[in-house]
Amino acid sequence: MPLLTSLTWTVNPVILDFGIFKLTWYGLFFASGFVLGTFLLRHIYRTERVALPWVDTLTIYMVLGTVLGARLGHCLFYDWAYYARHPLEIFLVFPWAGLASHGATLGILLATWLFSRRHRFDYLWVLDRIVIVVAVGGACIRLGNLMNSEIVGQPSAAPWAVAFPRDAEHLQAPVSPLPAGAVLVQRPVSHEASLQVLPAGTVATTSMAMAVPRHPTQVYEALFCLLLLALLYRLWTKYQEKTPRGLLFGWFVTLLFSFRFFVEFLKENQVDFENGLPLNMGQLLSLPLIALGLWVVLRAGKWRGNPYGHAPREPDASLVTEQIPAILPAASHA
């Protein structure tokens, strides 16, 4: 039997439970993406001699754009039938009640546009640097999905396949003999129920369920984000302030969503209506972004009179310290 066939992922998604507040691995990784990204963006801005206070201002826009976009994206793209009847629940972002990466992408695009327009940055200049940071955040979020035992792949006999007993949605009725690497668990009453993986040799009953090995698609996407980070950072290191305008953004969007399109073939559908579609929602949403990325790559550095974009070297103190709530009505979007 291959070494990793019997790997079973039983990590508790909650680190500490304070009753009214839970510290979760997903929340920790989500926040870590912004923290690590801020350090990286400061390095980029310092190298290109752009004033560092701009990093703090842009980070505020990014946090708002990511969270609001991801939440609205989930509600609109994946479960609008429910949220149309319960609109107030759209605003229940915490504790991470449903976020979508395509929505986060649209939110980031809008947030960076607002930042660029308000503070006189070139839009593609900002995007070319921010996608390096987004690659870090993408890896962190997918690791958070792994800690939650969510966004799992389809059953697989690959030697690196993983059984996810905590993913109650995809547990199966047990069969005898158990497939290689599968484990028996007591069928949970709810998602919050305590997990009990039964020892090997347990005789299956109707009160039990079976977790079979699956593609760890969260790990695939996290690793691809790290590879994308290395590529983008290498390109930026080569060009720095002479980066062809749109080059990094175009390659990021093209490669990330092309990978997303193909990895979706290995995933379980997230919502039932996807079962009747020729492509799932993640694939359908990826196609226009791939087309956008390819167009920008082909145009990179070819805008007359502005081949590299531009950024103010010194911040306008009155703009940097301006209260962010003043832009919230403009940031609200579908």
* pLDDT score of 199: 85
Smallest Cα–Cα separation from 157: which of 217, 221, 214, 218?
Answer: 214
In terms of phi and psi (left: phi > 0; alpha: psi -120 to 50; beta: otherwise), the region of 319 is: alpha
**108's tokens:** 């980031």
* pLDDT score of 6: 59
Element (DSSP H or E) covering residue 44: helix 25-47
Residue 96 has, within 13 A of its CA and on its CB side, a CA count of 20
Distance, first Cα to last Cα, the chain: 50
Q: What is the mean pLDDT of the chain?
A: 87
Averaged pLDDT for residues 155-164: 94
* pLDDT score of 323: 43
* pLDDT score of 324: 43
The model's confidence at residue 82, banded by pLDDT at 50, 70 and 90, is: confident
Could you tell me how many helices (H) and strands (E) the chain has, helices first? 10, 6
* This model's pTM is above 0.75: yes
* pLDDT score of 206: 82
Residue 300 · residue 250 · CB < 8 Å: yes
Instruction: Give DSSP secondary structure letters for 73-119.
Output: HHHHHT-HHHHTT-GGGGG--TTT----HHHHHHHHHHHHHHHHHHH
The dihedral through the CA atoms of 113, 104, 315, 236 has a sign that is negative
The 8-class DSSP code of residue 23 comes to: E
pLDDT of 332 strictly over 60: no
**17's tokens:** 């439970």
* pLDDT score of 274: 83
Smallest Cα–Cα separation from 24: which of 149, 167, 195?
Answer: 149
The model's confidence at residue 191, banded by pLDDT at 50, 70 and 90, is: low
pLDDT of 1 strictly over 60: no
Smallest Cα–Cα separation from 226: which of 288, 142, 289, 102?
Answer: 142
In terms of phi and psi (left: phi > 0; alpha: psi -120 to 50; beta: otherwise), the region of 154 is: beta
Averaged pLDDT for residues 68-87: 86
* pLDDT score of 88: 80
Read off the amino acid at residue 108.
Answer: I
Read off the amino acid at residue 302.
Answer: K
The CA distance from 334 to 54, in Å, is 27
The CA distance from 187 to 184, in Å, is 9
The CA distance from 68 to 274, in Å, is 24
